Structure 1
């Protein structure tokens, strides 16, 4: 290219040939004079350029920035000093007439050169062009104004690899390679061409990252906004220059934030081709999206070959999604599963989940199995709510036959509930309608409540406080009767019971009861330190049938009968209690410890309840067997027996430690020690109740200790095996006035290393969380059921960012109620034991050890290996009902995890807990 002037270097400073500059200025002046005779904005443009050219030689900045729309009227070339030590200086924007470009173009570079004859601008050194949302950066950018084209490329690397680039790397020969970004999308390449009028472009050796995946291509062409065509394209989630795996397609089409379509596709592990498919679709859309669910293949001795988890995920809309999957087993049949989630923020959410299986059994016997679950929660209005949680199965062994989830296999009871709740009157009144069923999967027994209707009136005053002049209620001049409160609850129940699944005669029971509690609490402390309260509890129960009893003279056993007809039962009790608090402070100066505080709360209460088993009330039937022994049976069920006139004692102790002083002062609870006992004046024997002791301590946030003990004040008859009405203090002396009957000790300790160590979380360890759609009102998470995946195994490793962790539990219990038959149990549990051996290796362990019998009750060993973009996991249970192993190698990327190799083994075959 012929130059109109020359640049000379003298002492490191750019010098301009003023003779050529004067010639250029004369040409500009002549052009400007001619343009004055034409009423066009071009004259203004040339005038501005003329004076700008004059100023450009009097002050030379290190870099230049311009804002322009069309520089075609520029008649000079400007040369700037190449320097990276100074900030870019931006000149005021030039207002230039439009020539087909509908937006302003901003550009900066260290050197800016313009060829007026060819209408080309050269941006050299940290060049950057911005147009609308598009940004193009490169070592050199050429602007072809006639064709509205940008050509971006790198600069030769004069260091010749001294910066550490490898000999095979492009960066050994070129630096500042082009980077194109459009909003949040970024494309890198060796050479780029972009037309900022049509907004189309072409990239040589392009590379882009979308949603954690990398796309390469020998030629990348931008055919529309956010749409690229790629020739000889490659896709991978591995960030290595030589990826550990990739998909290669002769032709690819990338739709940003949507998908990548490629055909044909070859899957490579390293440089070795391992699979061929006619076409492939890789999702890149954020959030949920519909698509096929890749299956996994395998075989077992019991089921033969199998294909598991083949299906389709349907993201119906922002408020609902569904997953359909099916498992095929060569010898036993198939299992079809579907899971649907739905939600509308602030209104309702729920899920439906079901499965259907047809299995073959020995003897050419075929049977169907199914299960169904529903979970629904709805807020109808601020005071009305509806919730449903139900589970149904075809037979008692369904989950043992089909589930791989350990917790699900051990669950032997199904509980279903549907509850409607309505409240009003400032929340004091509430009405609850409940339908429920509890089914025992072992025995087949069931209990259904159809329905349970309950009304509650929360704590309210019999005589409210007087209204004040301000409109509210004031406690001034309140009377003692203003502190009398009551609560009320009423329940109607229709109960259907079955003793087994095939019970031909289920028992139906209908009853209603209501409870009234009246409580009085003194507003003032007696003597200034004693709190006093008293209450009356009344409960009435209505039933449509009662029980009657007779003696079978042949077997001398009690026979139960059912008598239909209305009957009522009324019971009541009264209670009075008093309590206070005592404080003790023990100053000390042991480092940061300033004092120990002891808070003691003694309380005493008296309760009275008559003996409702006496004939006076008619709630019990008295019988005599053939031996003349008197027997009492409850006609209603749940009627309290025996008179109670007990004086109860409770002593609660809280020990605290005071640390620091002033604003830095804080209190730490050391431990609680509580004692409870009582004396029943109405009992005919054993009037003194057991002494119950509770100890609780949390010396650290990760350490919890608890102990519960029960002591008896009475002696034990070893011959009859019963506690006798004889105080130990009388038979054994003052120092043996009490004996231990039960003790339980529990210790829970959560241990972990410090964050940021060698176990700092990696992509392989991070928990795969479903993406929540960000649009307003959408709260669906991709395929996240509240039931969890009951057919899949639990994850052996949890997400954490610490080098190691472990939960240690120790439990010990002893029962000495009968001193001749003492029973003990002792277990050590190690759960969630996870250790980061190296940055790549991780081991997990879980064990439950029976100390009393000296054997392992259950254990599992897990190994994890981070293989960069792959991961491997091995689980082994050497003993127990779930013994076996499971080995898997898979790609880490969540949308490619079904590309894996796995192997299972064990007594439970494919239905193992792994």
Structure 2
């Protein structure tokens, strides 16, 4: 009644006046029920109601369905008007908005607005299982009931996949916002869904497609066997965007240095933005040792990309109060930055930084740093260059460099080096056309270099004392060159170079009578000196062909081609005596008994940043001969009409000089260097040698007598070295392309200035490695070629051989002699073993040795690395799930290297 009263929107009419009856009415018994008088005398409603309000506040009810329901079937479509149902058989399809159901049989009930979908059954079993798809969410159940009105669904025995996670549930309820509630479900990342090697069983699961999975009490099964691995609840983000989260650590015990139990590589990952992230990781040992790592990656498309990493470790050995207790702090900073070429064509900024404690990689207790302990050099470079287009073009470059020897702990820094260069200017060139002749080809440049150089040690780095011996200066040079042809076969070039050197560091040298010693005093202040020189060069190219197919047209070697490039040069270096001074030193007595003082000569620019001027006149002739040998070989392919070219000797060079102005030892040693390639360029050999024509006296000093005149050979071998590298695999001689090595394995070595050929071992960071789609494709390719393992086993091998010989003063000794090797063998598509080692023939011992074992366990992976001996002996075992969702589910055990202090 209240609804009728207040829902009436028209004006209420006036109440009619009752008529007075002629007869007195009977008394009316009062009813306890209250009835609205208005409702009793309400006039008959008008069917055509005109609302006094133009826009009614009550909205028009929504249509029953928002869109059309389309359906089809390959078998038959049956309409039952009495039941208001539609039956679809054989490959039935129903589409409604973004929802699609495909099944063997579908029933559309228009009375209840429900859609039933199920499988077809025949003598062979069930077929055409339903597939429910909405947006990007896909569910494969045995049967489904869907409500068209509220878009809810009941799903039976469903299978759904989201971002690699496969979920099975006997009963699933789907809400209208696509949220799925599952009961007694199981989930896994295994590829074999019919017989998964592992799965998790959970009473309740909430799945929001593309966003998250929330599970209740859960336990793990391995091949159907329950395990004690259980969780009260779990949360799995499904967003394809990067998300912040906890990085699960590794647990273990350090028995080598008595640091106790530890956790390593645990922390938190911050997804700051789409362009920047940050990982904060830490290590902690129960004896008080700890480590901190900050790692950040950044990138902006078409602009730049890079990464930054800082590592700090405070290492305690043993326990405080014990006699063997020590404390040491080490650190390492890495920064890599590269600019996209499209960002700015006229300027470029790049950085490659690797600096820190010299003993960081040797003393670090983090497993990831063991392989890098073999690196002897840390190097850094940060540079910015700017080009100013025009005529002439101007280039400006600022560079800061760092070089650190981890053995001697010496550090060399330039902070910074500023270079300015002006492009070539041809003052006599014609305004149009080609430059011809000696005059028109005259050109000059201007180069300027300013540098601030620091030489210090690891212990003084970062302190004010590191600047005490710093050198600063600036060098200006103007080279003037020209070139021309002589007799059409000879190329002639001539040049002169003027240099002016500014320095802020000079010296004064004198003799102290009291101490009877030479005293050198450093002077800080501006000073300068100027030098110049002249050089000319004439060269040509000679070609020689030696055919071998005159008698036999089908000879394997068709011809050998020799290209020789001889050149003759002349160089004049004047003496700049004006920059040299003399002072008297010690008193000596000659044969006649006369007392004389020795005289010593020096220049105040000795030890300056760009060197000192020359005080000896030099006029020398140089001879250089370059050679290349190539062979034309008949191709094995009969369809090829031209022979193949093979390089036999690449750049076999000979060089020597003769100083016309020297009073003795005019002839410089003959230097030879070259390179060879063998076995389809799989083996490269580089060699060099120094041959001295002069003999040695009994004190092993060089004398002005040719060695052949002293009863020896024409030349005396004073130094030689050979470096050989060899890389091959099972496809090297089959003509098949070789597979590329995983780029991620190179990254750590490159950042640490190490080798990329695994000869120093391979960094195995199993915990943080992400299993990518490329890994999956590589594994599938192996399994697809399973028959290849019946007659061949994939393998690869890398060798490096080096020997150095020294005989400058009759040492006649091998300075170094070593062979390093690294290789991997795939025993099966799932088993890979590898090793890196070497042998030092000089010291008769093995170098750093590492063994690697890897096993693919379907959804799991197992790795084991072992350093069997040396002070770095250790091992690391890891087994974990490949999926990035569950990579924290792992078992890792390791043995830390023994105590490492100093070298």
TM-score, L = length of structure 2:
0.77
Structure 1 segment 755-770 matched on structure 2, within 5 A:
none
1:602 to 558, 563, 566: 566
Which range is displaced more, 491-500 or 283-292? 491-500
Provide the C-alpha distance between the structure 1 equivalents of 2:102 and 2:211, rounded to a whole number of angstroms. 25
Q: What is the CA-CA distance between 1:542 and the residue it aligns to?
A: 0.9
2:433 to 471, 474, 485: 474
Provide the C-alpha distance between the structure 2 equivalents of 1:211 and 1:769, rounded to a whole number of angstroms. 23
Partner deviation per Cα, 1:776-830 (whole Å, 9 max, x = no partner): xxxxxxx99995899x981289977682111012222222223354225321111
Counterpart check, 1:331 vs 2:287: yes
Structure 1 segment 583-598 matched on structure 2, within 5 A:
583-587=543-547, 588=549, 589-590=553-554, 593-598=557-562
Provide the C-alpha distance between the structure 2 equivalents of 1:560 and 1:597, rounded to a whole number of angstroms. 60
Provide the C-alpha distance between the structure 2 equivalents of 1:744 and 1:188, rounded to a whole number of angstroms. 68
Counterpart check, 1:745 vs 2:706: no
Provide the C-alpha distance between the structure 2 equivalents of 1:443 and 1:696, rounded to a whole number of angstroms. 32
Tell whether the 8 Å contact from 1:768 to 1:894 is kept in structure 2 after alignment: no
Counterpart check, 1:246 vs 2:199: yes
Provide the C-alpha distance between the structure 1 equivalents of 2:724 and 2:379, rounded to a whole number of angstroms. 31
Counterpart check, 1:722 vs 2:692: no
Q: What is the CA-CA distance between 1:856 and the residue it aligns to?
A: 1.0
Q: What is the CA-CA distance between 1:697 and the residue it aligns to?
A: 1.8
Task: Show the counterpart of 1:818.
Answer: 809
1:532 and 1:766, CA in 2 relative to 1: closer, same or farther beyond 3 A? closer
Q: What is the CA-CA distance between 1:554 and the residue it aligns to?
A: 8.2
1:250 and 1:911, CA in 2 relative to 1: closer, same or farther beyond 3 A? farther
The DSSP-based 3-state class of the residue aligned with 1:316 is: coil
Structure 1 segment 74-93 matched on structure 2, within 5 A:
none
The DSSP-based 3-state class of the residue aligned with 1:880 is: coil
Tell whether the 8 Å contact from 1:904 to 1:910 is kept in structure 2 after alignment: no
Which range is displaced more, 304-313 or 199-208? 199-208
Provide the C-alpha distance between the structure 1 equivalents of 2:902 and 2:524, rounded to a whole number of angstroms. 51
1:576 to 532, 536, 548: 536
1:480 and 1:447, CA in 2 relative to 1: closer, same or farther beyond 3 A? closer
Task: Show the counterpart of 2:87.
Answer: 122
Task: Show the counterpart of 1:886.
Answer: 876
Tell whether the 8 Å contact from 1:710 to 1:741 is kept in structure 2 after alignment: yes
Provide the C-alpha distance between the structure 1 equivalents of 2:724 and 2:361, rounded to a whole number of angstroms. 36
Tell whether the 8 Å contact from 1:697 to 1:706 is kept in structure 2 after alignment: yes
The DSSP-based 3-state class of the residue aligned with 2:842 is: coil
Partner deviation per Cα, 1:69-124 (whole Å, 9 max, x = no partner): xxxxxxxxxxxxxxxxxxxxxxxxxxxxx972525625332333332322323332
1:395 and 1:645, CA in 2 relative to 1: closer, same or farther beyond 3 A? closer
1:824 and 1:352, CA in 2 relative to 1: closer, same or farther beyond 3 A? closer
The DSSP-based 3-state class of the residue aligned with 1:317 is: coil
1:181 and 1:420, CA in 2 relative to 1: closer, same or farther beyond 3 A? same
2:346 to 383, 392, 396: 383
Provide the C-alpha distance between the structure 2 equivalents of 1:510 and 1:284, rounded to a whole number of angstroms. 57
The DSSP-based 3-state class of the residue aligned with 2:847 is: strand
Tell whether the 8 Å contact from 1:706 to 1:745 is kept in structure 2 after alignment: yes
1:546 to 506, 510, 517: 506
Provide the C-alpha distance between the structure 1 equivalents of 2:486 and 2:542, rounded to a whole number of angstroms. 15
Counterpart check, 1:267 vs 2:220: yes
Partner deviation per Cα, 1:568-623 (whole Å, 9 max, x = no partner): 121222111111111122332445654322211111111111234xxx23146566
Counterpart check, 1:316 vs 2:283: no
Task: Show the counterpart of 2:670.
Answer: 691
Tell whether the 8 Å contact from 2:561 to 2:631 is kept in structure 1 after alignment: yes
Provide the C-alpha distance between the structure 2 equivalents of 1:155 and 1:288, rounded to a whole number of angstroms. 42
Provide the C-alpha distance between the structure 1 equivalents of 2:91 and 2:540, rounded to a whole number of angstroms. 79
Which range is displaced more, 574-583 or 130-139? 130-139
Task: Show the counterpart of 1:286.
Answer: 240
Q: What is the CA-CA distance between 1:308 and the residue it aligns to?
A: 2.0
Task: Show the counterpart of 1:670.
Answer: 648
Structure 1 segment 263-662 matched on structure 2, within 5 A:
263-270=216-223, 271-301=225-255, 302-355=258-311, 360=316, 362-363=319-320, 372-376=333-337, 381-390=344-353, 393=356, 400-404=363-367, 405-410=369-374, 415-426=379-390, 428-436=393-401, 438=403, 446-466=411-431, 473-475=432-434, 480-498=438-456, 501=460, 504=465, 506-522=468-484, 525-551=485-511, 558-587=518-547, 588=549, 589-590=553-554, 593-612=557-576, 616-619=577-580, 624-625=585-586, 631-636=600-605, 637=607, 638-639=611-612, 641=614, 642-659=616-633
The DSSP-based 3-state class of the residue aligned with 1:896 is: coil
Task: Show the counterpart of 1:794.
Answer: 763
2:77 to 112, 119, 133: 112
Q: What is the CA-CA distance between 1:434 and the residue it aligns to?
A: 3.6
1:548 and 1:135, CA in 2 relative to 1: closer, same or farther beyond 3 A? same
Tell whether the 8 Å contact from 1:304 to 1:331 is kept in structure 2 after alignment: yes
1:624 and 1:681, CA in 2 relative to 1: closer, same or farther beyond 3 A? farther
Counterpart check, 1:221 vs 2:173: yes
Task: Show the counterpart of 1:713.
Answer: 693
Counterpart check, 1:859 vs 2:849: yes
- Tell me the C-alpha RMSD between the 2 structures: 3.9
Q: What is the CA-CA distance between 1:439 and the residue it aligns to?
A: 5.5
Task: Show the counterpart of 1:84.
Answer: none
Provide the C-alpha distance between the structure 2 equivalents of 1:632 and 1:288, rounded to a whole number of angstroms. 69
Partner deviation per Cα, 1:844-886 (whole Å, 9 max, x = no partner): 1111111234321221111122222122222221222211222
1:808 and 1:448, CA in 2 relative to 1: closer, same or farther beyond 3 A? closer
The DSSP-based 3-state class of the residue aligned with 2:174 is: strand
1:788 and 1:210, CA in 2 relative to 1: closer, same or farther beyond 3 A? farther
Q: Which stretches in structure 1 are left out of the alignment for 5+ residues?
A: 1-97, 160-172, 467-472, 771-782
1:624 and 1:725, CA in 2 relative to 1: closer, same or farther beyond 3 A? farther
Provide the C-alpha distance between the structure 2 equivalents of 1:694 and 1:494, rounded to a whole number of angstroms. 35
Provide the C-alpha distance between the structure 1 equivalents of 2:902 and 2:110, rounded to a whole number of angstroms. 69
Q: What is the CA-CA distance between 1:177 and the residue it aligns to?
A: 1.8
Provide the C-alpha distance between the structure 2 equivalents of 1:350 and 1:820, rounded to a whole number of angstroms. 49
Provide the C-alpha distance between the structure 1 equivalents of 2:147 and 2:568, rounded to a whole number of angstroms. 89
Partner deviation per Cα, 1:359-416 (whole Å, 9 max, x = no partner): 5554358787655554555688432334455566589658724443135445566555
TM-score, L = length of structure 1:
0.76
1:498 and 1:654, CA in 2 relative to 1: closer, same or farther beyond 3 A? closer
Provide the C-alpha distance between the structure 1 equivalents of 2:380 and 2:723, rounded to a whole number of angstroms. 32
1:581 and 1:237, CA in 2 relative to 1: closer, same or farther beyond 3 A? same
Provide the C-alpha distance between the structure 1 equivalents of 2:733 and 2:154, rounded to a whole number of angstroms. 43
Tell whether the 8 Å contact from 2:805 to 2:812 is kept in structure 1 after alignment: no
Which range is displaced more, 663-672 or 886-895? 663-672
Partner deviation per Cα, 1:520-543 (whole Å, 9 max, x = no partner): 011xx2111111111112211011
Q: Which stretches in structure 2 are left out of the alignment for 5+ residues?
A: 1-62, 589-596, 755-760, 770-774, 783-792
Tell whether the 8 Å contact from 2:120 to 2:128 is kept in structure 1 after alignment: yes
Tell whether the 8 Å contact from 2:67 to 2:96 is kept in structure 1 after alignment: no
Q: What is the CA-CA distance between 1:709 and the residue it aligns to?
A: 1.6
1:186 and 1:465, CA in 2 relative to 1: closer, same or farther beyond 3 A? farther
Which range is displaced more, 424-433 or 690-699? 424-433
Provide the C-alpha distance between the structure 2 equivalents of 1:142 and 1:768, rounded to a whole number of angstroms. 54
Provide the C-alpha distance between the structure 1 equivalents of 2:154 and 2:748, rounded to a whole number of angstroms. 41
Task: Show the counterpart of 1:13.
Answer: none
1:821 and 1:347, CA in 2 relative to 1: closer, same or farther beyond 3 A? same
Tell whether the 8 Å contact from 1:341 to 1:785 is kept in structure 2 after alignment: no
Which range is displaced more, 186-195 or 618-627? 618-627
Provide the C-alpha distance between the structure 1 equivalents of 2:831 and 2:418, rounded to a whole number of angstroms. 57
1:366 and 1:407, CA in 2 relative to 1: closer, same or farther beyond 3 A? closer
Provide the C-alpha distance between the structure 2 equivalents of 1:769 and 1:654, rounded to a whole number of angstroms. 37
Provide the C-alpha distance between the structure 2 equivalents of 1:106 and 1:761, rounded to a whole number of angstroms. 52
